[in-house]
Every structure is written in C-alpha cells, then in structure tokens.
Structure 1
C-alpha cells in the first residue's frame, strides 16, 4: 500500500490552520525567540569557562545573571509555545471533526447502513485524536528543529570550518537515517487503527444489545468473538510497536554517534590550540543540542506514522461522495402539495426490488392511510418522498416537481416525517424538542405545544421542560416519544406534507388521547401520509392504499372501499385491522 503522500499531509495542515493565521504567526514568534535563546546559552557558558580563572567575581556574577535571565526567558517562551500550539491543535482537530461529521451526515443511507455506530465513532473521533500531535507539534518541531540545526551549523562554521563540516556531516547522516525510516510503519499503523475500529464497533453493538444477548444465551458467542477481535488487535499492535521501536532505537544510536563526533573533533581542535576549553564545551553542547533535534525529528516521524494511517483513513472517508446528485433546485409550490409516483421501482439491494412499478396520485390536502404487512414497502414510500434514496425507475414528484430536481433543503423542510422510533437524547425535554438550538425560546415551545393540544401533557411531567431523559429516551413511553416528535416537527420545520408512522405499541388511555389530539392538529390543511396501525387513525383518513409485496393491490376513497364488502379494506376491518398490519 502506498503511504500517505507529503502533499496530502500538507494540504490537511494548510486547510485547517489557515483559519488561525494570527495564532500561527504568534506561535512562530514565540518559536523563533525560543530558538534564538537556546543558541545563545552555550555561548554564555563558553565565555564563563574561558574567563573563570582571569576575571573578577563581579564579571563572573554578571555572566551568571545573564545566563539565568536567558534561561528563564527561554522557559517562558517554551511555555508560550506549548500553550498556543495546544489551542491551535484543539481548534484544528475540532474543525476536522466537524467537517467529517457533516460530510458523513450528507452521505447516502447505503453508506450508513453499511457502517456500525462504533466504527463511525472510531473514524470521526479516534482517528482525529491520533492527529493531535500532527497539528500541534509536527510543523513546530520539524521547522523549529531544522532551523535550530542550521543555526548550530552556521555558528560552528564561524568558529572553525572543520567543526562545522564535522557537525554538518553528522547532521546529514542522522537525518538520512531518520528520513529513510519514515516509510517503515505506515501499513502496520493503519492495520492497527482498523483493528481498533472493529473492536470498538463490536463492543458498542454488544453494549447496546446486552439485554437480548443475555436473554438469548449468546454470551459465550459474544465473548469468543470479542476474544478474536482483541487477539487481532494485539497482533497488529505488536507489529506496529515493533516498527516504532526500530525508530526509537535509531534515535539512541544517532545520539551516541553525535557524542563520539563531538569528543573526537573537540579533542583534535584543542590539541592544535584552535579551541579553548570553553570552545570545546560549546562544541560538545551544540552537538548534543543537534542530537536532540534529530531525535525529535525521529519522534515526529514516529508520530507521523500514526498520523499518516489516520490521514489515509480520513482521506478515504472524505473521498466517498453521495450518489444522490443535487438537481436544479426547483422551488416547491406554496401550501399543501400533491405526491405523485409514476412507474416507480426501487429496492435496497440489487435485483431485489421492494417496490414494483408503483403508480398513484395523492391530491393536495388529502390524508392517505397506507396499510400492509411488514416488508410490504410502506416506509420505503416515505424515504423516496424525502429523497433519502432515488428510485431505480420512474419518478417521485411533489407538486409535479421531480424530487431529484427539487431544492433538497427545502424538500426536507417542507416534508416532515414522524417515525415510530423517535431519536431521543440523554438531555432535557427542552433540548430534545429544540435539538439543542438555544435560539428557540420557551414561549415558542409552549405555543407549539398549545397548538398541538399538548400543554396539559407537558405540564403533567415532573420538572416540565427541565425533565431529564435517560439514555435512549428512558423516562418516556413510545407514545410520549411520538408526542415529542410531533412538537419537534413544528418547532424546527414548517411542513406542508406530513408522513406519520404510527406507534403500534399499546398506549395508555391518557397518552392515546393526547396522541389523538396531536394527530388531529397535525393533519389539518396538510397533505398527509399515515402508515397506519390503529383503527382510530384509519377512520380519519380520506384515502386508503393497501400494499402487498411492493405492489398496490387496492387504492381509493376510504368511505367507498369501506362500503364495498368485496374490497380488501372492508375485509381487513371485519378481521380486526390491528392483527394483520404488524
């Protein structure tokens, strides 16, 4: 596998650091000041050593105070570099997290159906965590240490060309060794990240389904599978660690080479009276300083291996594009609009259609009840209207506008869907209604709740809007969750078409009455599609559609079908509708 290219690294850095130009410039100022003071310190010590036997105590004291001041200032600048670089890192990595999350939200449902929550968490958060050092330290350490090396080499060339040449040769050799190790570990690091994602993905699924796992006696299988995944991760972790150890060992060897070089050159120049004792110390100090940049560069290369694996995975994710192409952006008609299916065939898996050649027109302002057994294609109708998928064949139109040509944002603003499985968060009722939008006031919430006839229900809850829900909506029933979903629709959207997938679970009388009131308000002056599970709702609709294996087997006005004793709908009523629609 080809390692992540330098160009991809550079592009990622530039893209997410250019918005922080001021902070980056400030960081550069602190960095250059820190480097300058680090180069001055050995010169001060050299001066102290050379004059210690000939100068007065006052002179030596001044030199010592100067050294202390330079050292303190250098430490202050180092702290400033660490602080500013930390802020730059958090802003950059959070920006990348936001970009990845937004990118994934716009990808097709086929992508999300193929990924587990655990895997997505690892891709969006775990991989970005691995880039922390890349953003905060890589450029600083590489650029700073290269500049430090150049400064040391120039200063030593000024002292004596032989000292400069020897140190330059050591620096080039050390860098060549470090840079040639750059490609060693990328494949193993990426494999380790993949193994980690697989393990956490499986763990997330197990935690979410712990009740079913225990009740179905699947614990031994889960443990065996978890063992296999952890074993795989251990193997890949050991391989990547082995490669990293090679890099670490190389930095130690480079340091030893530096010490040997310094001692050899220093001894020679001292014996030939070119260098004083202070100059020899300066040479040894500088070459040790040079070993440090090489070691740090090597360390950054190790981190680059980790970052490269994550950058490849991030780049692979960003390279995935939605197959749903944006159309012309046609504007939908004002008010309630029609829903039209023309020869629509669609399925989720190739050669396995769910809907077969569907044709029907739902007139504006009409309420359609869709009936059929599980798997007959009822929910698929809603997904096509919201353009979560495009049909294989035919057209899906709203107000005579093909949804593929409609403005997608307006389409999903004007068509609202309330599902059985309402997504609730571990947060307050208020935050679940507004989806954490602080701009929506309590007054607005109560207005909407009053419009839906839900004020009494809201006030009956302990703590009202401040009531905290547990994980996955714990604390409210399925019917109450749908009440929240109704209110959420009218807080966040202005729908002219509503698709309602009713809760099929048994409801307590109070919640059922609130639900009836909400549905009554919901369907007023709107085009409505109800995936019905209850007799009360079917009696409210204008038209009935019965689906069977993705085909329309009956469609027409409810009253007419109900009066026709030979119709399928009349037969469903006689045989108890609720028993055949699950």
Structure 2
C-alpha cells in the first residue's frame, strides 16, 4: 500500500483509526472542542464591531465596561477550550503511537532471522521511532486541526456573507488565486517530504552500521573514506530539506500578497461605502479581523496537509513492517511436562535462498542425554543445523523431531525455552550482569544465579566488579573481556535449566586459562542433558558420543573420535589440518 500519487489514502487512515478505538472518548471530545473553537471564532470580531458602532462612535461609554467584561470572558473561554483541545489531541496522538510502537516492536521480535538478513537495522529503527512520531502529528497537528481550520473558514465566510454580501464578494475575490497556489504547493511539498523520509532512513541506517562497526573502521584506517560517504548522504538530506524550505519560501509570501490584495480591496471598497454611510466603521473593523481569520487557517491548511502527508508516508512504512509476513508460524500447542531431548533429523533439506540448499538430505540422531559434535570446514552447514532446530529458519523438506514430535507441533516459546544456545559471538545488553543472565525473568532468583556462577567459576570475578551482580556491562559487554562475557553466557544457559544444550563455537573466543576454568562447568552442564556442540577445540570433540562430519551441507562421516580416525577419511584430514598443532597425540 502506498500513499504516493494520492492526496490521501482512506484505507491507510482507516487502519490508523483502528488504534483510536480504545481512546474513543478522547477523540470525540477533541472533535467537539474543534467544532466549538470554529463556532466561537467569529464572536470576538462581532463583539468588537458591536462595541465600536453602538458605544464608541455614539459616545455611550457607559456600556463599554460591560462589553469589555464580556470580551474578556469570551477570551478566557476560548483560551481554555484551545488548551483542552491541544492537550487532548496530543494525548490521543501519543497514545496511538505508543500502542503502535508496542505492536511494531512485538511484531519485529517474532520475525524470522531471514528477514533481518536482508533488512538494515537502521531502517527498522527509523520505522519504530521517527516514522511513528509523524503518525502522532496526524492527530495533534494534522487531520483534526485541518477539520477545525476548514470549519472555521466556512463559518467565518458564512458570517461575512450574512453581514454584507456585496462586501464579502469584493474582499474574497483573490481566494481562487490562493486555492490554486495551495494546490501546487501541496503537490510539490509532498514529493519533497517523501524524499526527506527516504534520506532520514538512509542516514539512520548508515549511522547504526558504522557506529556499531567503529572498531573495524579504525583498525583499517577507513575514517576518511567513511567520512566522505557520510558527507554525501548528509548532503542529500540537507538538499532535500532545502528544497522543502524553498517551496515554503515561495508559498508563504504568495499567501501574504494575496491576503494584502484582499485587505486593499476591503479598504478601497469599504472606505467608499463608509463615506456613503452604506457600511459602518465597525463592519470594516470586523471584516479586517475576519480576513486574518480566513487567510491564516488557509495558509496553515497547506502546512497541516503536509503534516498529514508526512504522517501517512510514515504510516505506510510502519504498516509495511506490520504486514511483513515473515514471522515464524506458531501453530503448535504441545507443551509436555518434560522433554527427554531425543533429537532426530530426518532427510532434512534447507536453503536460505530458494533452491540453493545449504543442507542436503541431512539425517542423524542425538539420543537423550548424549552429546553430538558437528565438525566441518566453514560453510559446511553446522550453524544452519542448529538454527533450524530452534526454528529460526524453516526447512524445505524433511522433518526434525524431539522425543518423536515434530518441532513444528511444539509451542514456539516452549520449544526455544527448552533449548539453551551459547554462541561464539556473545551479545550482552546495556544492563546489569544479573539482568543479562536472567533476561529479566522474574522466576530466576539471585541465589540461583550465584549458584550457577560458582559452577561456571565466574562468581569471584563478578564479585570483584563494582556493584557485583548489579554491575552495568554497557552496550555489547564493552566493559568486560571476551572471556568474561562468554562466562556470563554460560551462566545464562545454566539458570534456564534447558533440556537441550547447543554450544556454537562457545569456547573459541576465550583464552586457554579461561577455557580450563569453564571446561568442568561445560561437563557438568552436559551431564544427563542432550547436547549439540560445534567446536574446533579437541577437548570437547573427543568426549562426544558421536561426531557428525559435514561438508557442503552433506554428512560425510559419523562415529566416535577414535572410530573416525581409524577410517582415515575426511575427519582424519580435518584432524591433521586443524588439531594436530595442539600437540595432543592421535
């Protein structure tokens, strides 16, 4: 769904207003106050006309006090209504985008990893933050305000014609010119705003990627080159904004010129009429005020129309994310009391892109409580195997079962909560160590965390940190060493007490001393627990009940460490190439 080429998209507006339903009362009151403001707006000029004609020009000064009090009361009432209107419309807008943002975030967290493989993170940040903010403006500065401005113009023009038809025709002669100018401005500025939104997305994407990868930029001395790229992107963003401002710099003076033409016609025609006593000075004063109240909303209508357009462009982008049908199907309902952990891959075919299979007819079994090691060169399909076990990606053909049940039949949260994965690249949030371990799960106590930390051998180093378990590790665990971060990931796996453990190169980032520290913890963690291990470290592979050797997505060999060495085949070659240098005898 796209808003390009349309003044507005009713289907898109309907979707936005679905989020207004919980705040129906606020919306209704906003509309009521909008109508009241439009109806009250002509009253003050009328009171000034009445006072001028009936009291000041006639010399009846005794009534001035009463009229002054009435006008002050009207001004207070109008101010209060305007305050309430602004408060309600902004509350409505912020409430809507709060709910929308929650829905967008919830939807994004359920999308397949395949979606994130092809979508820049900066783009998603733009959709969830700045694009959503433009939707709030639809209510605070866009649609409701446009309705109010339009209604005010209609009411004031109606009062003008009711007061003096001939004078109204004269002073409103330039209005068609204003309408033509407004239409041209709307078309030009709409295209400009769409360009601005695109450049904002490009800017956010570039910044997110390059700030995250700042170490690579500095390692390879790429600061100057990346500066030039950012300069070009920022220049396009600046130019888009300048074009937008250029349209405004033309439109607003045209509005002022047309407004001055109406005022000139009023003074010319009104002065003659006053001299012939056909029109009172109070009427001239009234019409001068009415002209300002007509032209100001018309000028603002063009601006608010563009606010509405920005909101709709933002809404279009946000709803495209919500309409992304790439979430993992969660149709399974099974949640057994306990998983034994017997895993079977049966004739599994898997491809990231259509028929370009990275796993081909993969079949093997991991019996409950056993440890299976997956080995092979880079790109052999090891990580793909564990990704489909967690249902991060869906297989093309074949099936994967746990305890004889297809993994698609399990409740997705239940399945993943029973599989603890420790990755090579540990991700830690900008939060305390305790929260990074528990992931804010209230059912996990500090006592359980400390017990798991002691098993891993991390308790002492955590206690030495300022604040202990409440120490903030900062973004991506920047204040910890790679080994310390890896230890925390092991504690995280322990406290969740999974039925199945997956170690994906989990010790490759730690030094020898740290590996020795956690090796016993790994053994304890694997005890009576089904484990799948991807590792190059010989110590882990040698202890596996079964080793599955992969090459280009196919199983080349299966067996224990000694059995595979005796085969003198593919595993023996890998062993000679990768493991013999560690100095352990064959």
Band of TM-score, shorter chain: 0.7 to 0.9
The one of 46, 49, 52 aligned to 2:49:
46
Question: 1:128 maps to what in 2?
Answer: 132
Tell me, yes or no, if the aligned pair for 1:251 and 1:298 is still in contact at 8 Å: no
d(CA) in 2 for partners of 1:350 and 1:327?
Answer: 23
Three-state SS of the structure 1 residue aligned to 2:348 is strand
1:258 is displaced (CA, Å) by 4.1
The equivalent position to 1:206 in structure 2, one of 207, 210, 220, is: 210
Cα 1:453–1:234, aligned 2, differ >3 Å: closer, same or farther? closer
Q: Does 1:482 align with 2:474?
A: no
- Distance in 2, matches of 1:63 and 1:187, equals 50
* 1:226-270 Cα distance to aligned partner (Å, 9 max, x none): 333334334444444444545445543453354345446644654
1:224 matched residue in structure 2:
228
Quick one: structure 1 residues 479 and 498, their matched pair in 2 at CA, closer, same or farther if it must change by over 3 Å? same
Match for 2:30 among 27, 31, 38? 27
User: Does residue 110 of the first structure (1) align with residue 114 of the second (2)?
Assistant: yes
Task: Structure 1 unaligned segments of length 5 or more: list them.
Answer: none
Cα offset, 1:180, TM superposition: 5.8
Change (3 A) 1:401 1:250: farther
Q: Check 1:408–1:261 CA distance in 2 against 1; reply closer, same or farther (3 A cut).
A: farther
Q: 1:185 to 1:36 in 2, by over 3 A?
A: closer
Distance 1:4 1:351 in 2: 43
* SS of equivalent to 2:104: helix
Please tell me whether the aligned partners of residues 342 and 403 of structure 2 are also in contact (alpha carbons under 8 angstroms). yes
Q: TM-score if structure 1 supplies the norm length?
A: 0.87
- 498-507 or 5-14, which deviates more: 5-14
**Cα–Cα, structure 1 residues 350 and 565, in superposed 2: closer, same or farther, change >3 Å?**
closer
Shift of 1:278: 1.1
Identify if the C-alpha distance between structure 1 residues 166 and 415 changes in structure 2 by more than 3 Å, giving closer, same or farther.
Answer: farther
Q: Which residue of 2 aligns with 1:526?
A: 529
Q: 1:249 to 1:98 in 2, by over 3 A?
A: farther
Shift of 1:379: 0.8
- In the other structure, the counterpart of 2:398 is 394
Q: Secondary structure at the match of 1:503?
A: coil
Which of 307, 328, 338 is the equivalent residue of 2:342?
Answer: 338
* Inter-partner Cα distance in structure 2 for 1:37 and 1:333: 67
1:466 aligns with 2:470: yes
Tell me the alpha carbon deviations over residues 72-96 of structure 1, each in whole angstroms, 9 at most, x when there is no partner: 3323433333333333333222333
Question: What does residue 554 of structure 1 align with?
Answer: 557
Report 1:349-360 matches (<5 A): 349-360=353-364
Corresponding residue for residue 141 of structure 1: 145
Could you say what secondary structure the match of 1:183 adopts? helix
SS in 1 for 2:372: strand
Contact 2:8 2:309 in 1 (8 A): no
| 2:70 alignment partner in structure 1 | 66
Q: Which residue of 1 aligns with 2:418?
A: 414
Say if 2:330 and 2:412, in contact at 8 Å, map to a contact too. Answer: yes
Question: Given the superposition, is the C-alpha separation of residues 524 and 380 from structure 1 closer, same or farther in structure 2, using an over 3 Å criterion?
Answer: same
Q: Is the 8 A contact 1:395 1:402 kept in 2?
A: yes
Provide Cα deviations, 1:418-467, integer angstroms capped at 9, x if missing partner: 21112112222133234356676545544654676654454343311221
Deviations 1:172-203 (A, max 9, x none): 77456535643333333223322232233223
Question: Is structure 2 residue 291 aligned with structure 1 residue 287?
Answer: yes
CA distance in structure 1 between the partners assigned to 2:493 and 2:413 by the alignment: 15
Report if the CA contact (8 A) 2:203-2:234 is conserved. yes
Shift of the alpha carbon at 1:384? 0.7
Residues 177/480 of structure 1: CA separation in 2 closer, same or farther (3 Å cut): same
Q: Is the Cα contact below 8 Å between 2:44 and 2:74 reproduced in 1?
A: yes
Task: Show structure 2 runs of 5+ residues with no match.
Answer: none
1:383 aligns with 2:375: no
CA shift, 1:285, in A, is 1.0
**Which residue of 193, 198, 208 maps to 1:194?**
198
- What is the CA distance between 1:529 and its match in structure 2? 0.9
Relative distance call for 1:507 and 1:247 in structure 2 (3 A) is same
Residues 39 and 396 (structure 1), Cα distance of their counterparts in 2 relative to 1, 3 Å cut: same
Q: Tell me, in whole angstroms, the C-alpha distance in 1 between the residues paired with 2:107 and 2:427.
A: 20
